[in-house]
Amino acid sequence: MSELVVPAPRPLFINRAAIPAMAVAVGSALGLVLASAEARPVVLPLFAIVNIQTFVLCRLYAHDRALPVWDLGAITSSITALYSAVPLLGFWMAGLQWTRLSFLPLYLANPSPSDVGAFAWRHVIYLACFAAGYLALHRRGAVRHGAVRELRPSAVAAHSLG
């Protein structure tokens, strides 16, 4: 008679590259719970931007096994995330109002937190679409890094004069 062999449970495996993304997601959830109800329309897109960008960087790191320092897609998404997140963070830290040090038309218009949050979702949609497209195309092959060729002095002179 044969015995029923039950395989031993495998240890829980967590990809090391995913740990920062999980930490940011947990921190965002905690921050969203602690944020006031008035601040949530601003905080939710802010945390979405931070989570999307963290996911992009972690995914690129997991794929290439190197920090994506010179990856053009990583640079573009990082600049986009900073461009989108910094004004939201400043608005949130300034008590959900624009100050005299802010962009003058925003200070004069004084939009509500729900207006600012509604506009910020456009940035979230743009960043999410860019990230999805870039990660989908990046999967097909990493950018190859090669040795940089030294230019001849005559080529440098021709380029400088031309």
For residue 129, the enclosing domain spans 16-141
| Number of structural domains found in the chain | 1
The answer to whether 120 and 46 have CB atoms below 8 angstroms apart is yes
Contact (CB, 8 A) for 51 and 81: no
The residue among 139 and 128 whose pLDDT is bigger is: 128
Asked whether residue 160 is domain-assigned, the answer is: no
pLDDT confidence band for 14 (50 / 70 / 90) = low
39: confidence class by pLDDT, cuts 50, 70, 90: very high
**Domain assignment present for 115:** yes
What does the mean pLDDT of the chain come to? 87
In this predicted model, what pLDDT tens digit does every residue of 43-75 receive, in sequence order? 999 999 999 999 999 999 888 888 888 889 999
Q: Supply the pLDDT for residue 17.
A: 80
Distance in angstroms (rounded) separating the CA atoms of residues 104 and 73: 32
Interior CA angle at 52 toward 46 and 55, to 5°?
140
For residues 60 and 97, is the Cβ–Cβ distance under 8 A?
no
pLDDT at position 5: 72
Q: Which residue has the higher pLDDT, 155 or 2?
A: 155
- Say what the pTM is: 0.78
Q: Is residue 120 assigned to a domain?
A: yes
Residue 88 has pLDDT above 80, yes or no: yes
| pLDDT confidence of residue 162 | 61
Higher-confidence residue of 8 and 149: namely 149
| pLDDT given at position 158 | 79
**Other CB atoms closer than 10 Å to residue 143's CB: what's the count?**
11
pLDDT at 129 over 90: yes
Ramachandran angles phi, psi of 150, nearest 5°? -80, 130
CA–CA gap between residue 26 and residue 153 (Å, rounded): 55
The residue among 155, 159, 124, 157 whose CA lies nearest residue 41 is: 124
Q: Which residue has the higher pLDDT, 157 or 40?
A: 40
Structural domain includes residue 154: no
146 falls within a domain:
no
In 3D space, the residue among 147, 130, 140, 139 whose CA is nearest the CA of residue 52 turns out to be: 130
